[in-house]
Amino acid sequence: MGNPLLTFWSRRRPDDDQRRIRRARALAATSSSAKASATIFLILRRMRAPLIVLIVIFSVSVLGLTLIPGVDAEGRPWRMGFFDAIYVMSYTATTIGFGEIPYPFTYNQRMWLTVSIYLTVIGWAYAIGSLLSLIQDRAFRQALALQRFSRKVARLAEPFVLIAGYGRAGELLGHSMDALGRRVVVLDRAAERIEGLELESYRADVPGLAADARDPAHLGVAGLDHPMCEAVVALTDDDEANLAVVMTATLLRPDVPVIARATTRAMGERMRSFGSPSVVNPFDVFGDHVRLALRAPASYQLLTWLENGPGGPLPPRGSPPRTGRWVVFGYGRLGRELTRDLRDEGIQVTVVDPQPGADGEDGVVADGSEPGVLDRVGIGSAVGFVAGTDNDTTNLSLVAAARRAAPELFVAARQNRPANAPLFQAMEIDALLVPTEVVAHQVYAQLSTPLLWRFIRDMPGRGDAWAAELVERLTGLCGEQLQALWKVRLSAEEAPSLPAWLRSGEARLGDLLRNPEDRDEPLHAVVLLVLRGDEATLDPGPDFALREGDELLLAGWPAARRALAITLQVDSAREYVVSGQRVPSGWVWRRVEEQLRRDPARRG
Residues that bind other proteins (CB under 8 A): 37-38, 41-48, 51-52, 55-56, 59, 62-63, 66, 81-83
Determine what percent of the chain falls in helix, strand and coil, rounding each to the nearest 5: 55, 15, 30
Question: What is the C-alpha to C-alpha distance for residues 239 and 270, in angstroms, rounded to an integer?
Answer: 11
8 A C-beta contact, residue 395 and residue 388: yes
> Could you tell me the smallest distance in angstroms from the CB atom of residue 82 to other proteins?
6
Residues 6+ apart with CB under 8 A from 63: 85
Closest to other proteins by CB, 49 vs 492, is 49
The nearest distance, CB 57 to other proteins, in angstroms, is 11
| Length of the chain, in residues | 604
Instruction: Please give the torsion angle defined by the CA atoms of residues 456, 458, 460 and 462, in that order, rounded to the nearest 10 degrees.
Output: -130
Nearest of 451, 455, 399 to residue 430 by alpha carbon: 399
CB of 138 vs other proteins, minimal distance in Å: 19
- Which CB, 26 or 63, lies closer to other proteins? 63
List b or e across 397-415, with b for residues whose CB sees 16 or more CB atoms inside 10 angstroms: ebbebbbeebeebbbbbbb
Minimum distance of other proteins from residue 134's CB (angstroms) = 12
Dist. CA 526–CA 506, nearest whole Å: 20
Q: Are strands 525-532 and 551-556 parallel, antiparallel or unpaired?
A: antiparallel
| 21/47 with CB nearer other proteins | 47
- Closest C-alpha to 267, from 291, 284, 242, 286: 242
In the complex with other proteins, which residue's Cβ is closer, 81 or 380? 81
CB of 57 or CB of 440, closer to other proteins: 57
Decide whether 44 or 465 has the Cβ nearer to other proteins: 44
Which one, 86 or 421, has the nearer CB to other proteins?
86
Which residue, among 337, 329, 358, 331, has the nearest Cα to 291 in the 3D structure?
Answer: 337
Listing DSSP states for 494-542 in one string gives: T-TTSHHHHHTT--BHHHHSB-SS-TTSBPSEEEEEEEETTEEEES--T
Quick one: 63 or 400, whose CB is closer to other proteins? 63
CA–CA separation, 295 and 276 (whole Å): 30
Asked, as a colleague might, if the bond just before 102 is cis with ω within 30 of 0, I would say: yes
What would the 3-class secondary structure string for 552-564 be? EEEEECHHHHHHH
Nearer to other proteins, 38 or 122 (CB): 38
The span from the CA of 159 to the CA of 125, in Å, is 49
Report helix, strand or coil for 602: helix
Residue closer to other proteins (CB basis): 9 or 91: 91
Is the CA virtual torsion 278, 282, 340, 241 positive or negative?
negative
Query: What is the closest distance, in whole angstroms, from the C-beta atom of residue 62 to other proteins in the complex?
Result: 7
As measured in angstroms, the least distance from the Cβ of 88 to other proteins is 13
Smaller CB distance to other proteins: residue 59 or 579?
A: 59
In the complex, least distance from residue 133 CB atom to other proteins, rounded to whole angstroms: 17
CB of 48 to other proteins, least distance (A): 5
**Which CB sits closer to other proteins, 85 or 525?**
85
Burial class (CB in 10 A: 0-12, 13-18, 19+), 202: middle
Residue 231: strand, helix, or coil: strand
| Least distance to other proteins, CB of residue 92, Å | 18
- Distance CA(27)–CA(10), nearest Å, equals 20
For residue 282, the one-letter residue type is P
d(CA 126, CA 129): 5
Nearer to other proteins, 89 or 531 (CB): 89
Measure the N-to-C terminal CA separation of the chain; round to a whole number of Å: 88
Smallest distance, Å, CB 102 to other proteins?
10
Q: Are 10 and 16 in contact (CB under 8 A)?
A: yes
Identity of the residue, 56 or 111, whose beta carbon is nearer to other proteins in the bound complex: 56
Strand order in the sheet with 160-164: 208-210, 183-188, 160-164, 229-234, 258-261, 278-280
Could you tell me if 491 and 549 are in contact, meaning their C-beta atoms sit under 8 angstroms apart? yes
Q: Report, in Å, the least distance between residue 85 CB and other proteins.
A: 9
Closest distance to other proteins from the beta carbon of 65 (Å):
11
Report the nearest approach of other proteins to the CB of residue 61 (Å).
11
DSSP letters of 406-418?
-TT-EEEEE---G
Q: How far is the CB of 59 from other proteins (least distance, A)?
A: 4
Question: What phi, psi does 114 have (nearest 5°)?
Answer: -60, -50
Q: Which one, 52 or 111, has the nearer CB to other proteins?
A: 52
Report the nearest approach of other proteins to the CB of residue 76 (Å). Answer: 18
Q: Which amino acid makes up residue 559?
A: A
Strand partners, 514: 522
